[in-house]
Structure 1
Amino acid sequence: MITPYGVLPQAAERLDARAEIWPDEVRIAIERLNLDAASYRQLSGAHDGDGDAIRRAVLEIVEARGKMQNPVTGSGGMLVGVVDEVGPESPLGLAVGDRVATLVSLTLTPLAITDGLEGWDGQGEQVPAAGHAILFARSIVAKLPDDLRPELSLAVMDVCGAPALTARVVRSYVDKGTKPVVSVIGGAGKSGSLSLAAARDAGAARTIGIVPVQHEADTLNAAGLADVVALADARDPVALNAVVEAAGGPADITVVCVDVPGCEHGAVLSTAAGGTVIFFSMATSFSAAALGAEGLAADVTMLVGNGYVPGHADYALQLLRNEPGVRGLFESRLDED
């Protein structure tokens, strides 16, 4: 870590991304980055979708910061690569040659890119790349499964915290004798589709998938992951609340998986008194969520999805394998990218 002194890696302005490792570290030869959705959307919007400009922006961020941390959204993503060197004191259980996905954010992962991202056109969240990354002793990493192509595994593992926490919260209701109504805002996306599958798997009484446009509604209906699919702009609290009510709400649990700001108040308003709102979007303003709930006199528990639940990667991959609708959504998105 370079600056400022004394902070943990995620809060650092710049990390030391040299290839040399400490005894408890691991170096990864990177193959592919996966930019988080909020970060890619911001970069694309800031550069009017110009792929060359987006590519230059990512290179400039990594060069300046020694990691991939979008200065506007504060978010990064994750990566796939091959273990290149393992320190003798590393507790991660890795060996040279293992193909892995990092399950910690690129915002705290020392990263150097050596190919200028020449294999990426800037038009998508998955970024073919060459270079190296450093994992710390407390980093989280998973070996890639043999039965899935790396791009698919990366896409799933990028959001694997969402279904695991959703399932945990749903089960907490079921264990108390209540089968909850679960609304997922952004239900046709990666984290949203997995969260819908997890809610059903964990025993939800009813699942509601909220999407902003008709083609996403058609896609989600075809996938069969939600009991009801509804159209709403999640930035319009009154409209969102009405749509959730009509779909069988209010929701006992609302899961926010969209990558645009301004969805906090609608999520709170459409959640039942005593319910739970889980925020998985890096576009969330947590001050807006807290103050909005106060202003609405809403008695709801608000959780920040931190991306880690024990066993989260295995659970997400299990859902992908067991739910054809989830797999179809992920594969079609990869094909589009």
Structure 2
Amino acid sequence: MIDTSPIGLHRVLEPSGVLPQAALRLDASPGLRPGEVRLRVERLNLDAASYRQLSAKHGGDGAAIRAEVLEIVGARGKMHNPVTGSGGMLVGVVDEVTPSSPLGLKPGHRVATLVSLTLTPLALSDGLARWDGLSEQVPADGHAILFARSIAAVLPDDLPVPLALAVMDVCGAPALTDRVVRRYVPCHAESGPRQGSGPVVAVIGAAGKSGSLSLAAARRAGARHLVGIVPHAAEATLLEEAGLADAVVIADARDPVALAGSVRQAGGPADVTVVCVDVPGCEGGALLSTRDGGIVVFFSMATSFSAAALGAEGLAADVTMLVGNGYVPGHAALALDLLRAEPGVRRLFERRVEPALDGGRVEHGPERRVEPAQDGRDA
């Protein structure tokens, strides 16, 4: 038996010696070991790439999607999509805390986990009976386990739970964008940054959750020109109404030459390109849209990092590529502050948790159903 580990090695069932995220199966039993916290699960938030894959596989059949999610969790002891390698996050209420836990949580706290479901021991007890399988947010009953090195944030009182959960699901993107933009000029002085107070920033998937927050973060951090890339006119209208970008571009991010040309016409090439879409094949376009000496930040779980690396080599693209790992100190607070301070960001988010126009309802409690608008999903 492995001694209790702050990173959860003691919960790995197979194969031995790997971290919980890489494990095929985790021990999701409710009994706690020193340093652990048990949550009573109220809502899962499947990541966009995983949900898109499941929906496409089952042709939008909600019952089939629900059945596969249950199968994955039951077999693996965690929500870890074997195709996309991704999972999501959850909201729950703290049920029990061991005395040696360093997380500062107390029984009764309602929290959002800021670590992936791919490494969180999870057991479901309700068969997901209240979920129709047609949205990323999943009302659920069950329990989950946090380790000493896990991250969780107590949910704010001033925001509906579905809205706060949607923000926290992608809070790593604006936080890293903020860091990259603030550091860009001093870090690239030798390579000759452009005139102006800050970089040109292009965001691919700009009308989505992580994309809209990244635009707002880049503006606040000092970007001098923001280019928002969206796939169709409806999202362009939404982004223009939100007022988050200086130029809005309609382009297929999977068409590298067309995308790069559109970004140039809109004020590029970019000094910093942020990829926030949940479809594969966007690596080449991001590289071609970024100037030599620039930075590409990949936040999508659909990214092929071999395609990005080999593509940069083949294009002789002198760019720095960063993988957004979802954690930057203070990321949740920064994202929530952007939501509160930027009306355009809030409107875009509310479209994903507000009812469709057919009379559905937004429910603020975690035990009720949410129906986000079906107008495109981001990372």
User: Which TM-score bucket, shorter chain as reference?
Assistant: over 0.9
8 Å CA contact 1:174, 1:203 repeated in 2: no
Secondary structure of the corresponding residue to residue 40 of structure 2: strand
**Aligned twin of 1:212:** 231
Partner of 1:184 in structure 2? 203
Tell me what 1:90 maps to: 101
What residue is the counterpart of 1:107 in the other structure?
Answer: 118
Residues 209, 229 of structure 1: 8 Å contact kept: yes
TM-score normalised to the size of structure 2?
0.88
| TM-score with structure 1 setting the length | 0.99
RMSD: 0.8
Displacement, 1:100? 0.3
Alignment-derived partner of residue 222 in structure 1: 241
Work out the number of aligned pairs and report it.
337
- Counterpart amino acid of 1:260? V
**Alpha-carbon offset, residue 23 of structure 1:** 1.4
CA distance in 1, matches of 2:132, 2:82: 21
1:247 is matched with 266
Structure 1: runs of 5 or more not aligned: none
Does residue 147 of the first structure (1) align with residue 158 of the second (2)? yes
What residue is the counterpart of 2:130 in the other structure? 119
1:156 counterpart letter in structure 2: V
Structure 2 distance, partners of 1:246, 1:215, is 21
Secondary structure of 1:306's match? coil
Between structures 1 and 2, the one with greater helix share: 1
Instruction: Tell me by how many angstroms 1:66 deviates.
Output: 0.3
Q: Which residue of 1 aligns with 2:172?
A: 161
Where in structure 1 do 4 or more consecutive aligned residues deviate above 4 Å? 174-178
Taking the TM superposition and a 5 Å limit, the aligned residue runs for 1:173-322 are: 173-175=184-186, 179-322=198-341
CA displacement, residues 229-274 of structure 1 (integer Å, 9 cap, x when unaligned): 1000000000000000000000000000000000000000110000
**Aligned counterpart, 2:147:** 136
Deviation at 1:143, TM superposition (A): 0.3
C-alpha distance in 2 between matches for 1:159 and 1:174: 26
Percent sequence identity over matched residues?
74
Q: 1:330 corresponds to which residue?
A: 349
Equivalent residues of 1:21, 1:87 under 8 A apart: yes
Aligned with 2:291: secondary structure?
strand
Letter in 2 for 1:143: V
Per-residue CA distance 1:192-217 (angstroms, 9 max, x = gap): 00000000000001000000011000
SS of residue matched to 1:74: coil
The AA in structure 2 aligned to 1:332 is R
Task: Give, in whole Å, the separation in 1 of the partners of 2:324 and 2:351.
Answer: 26
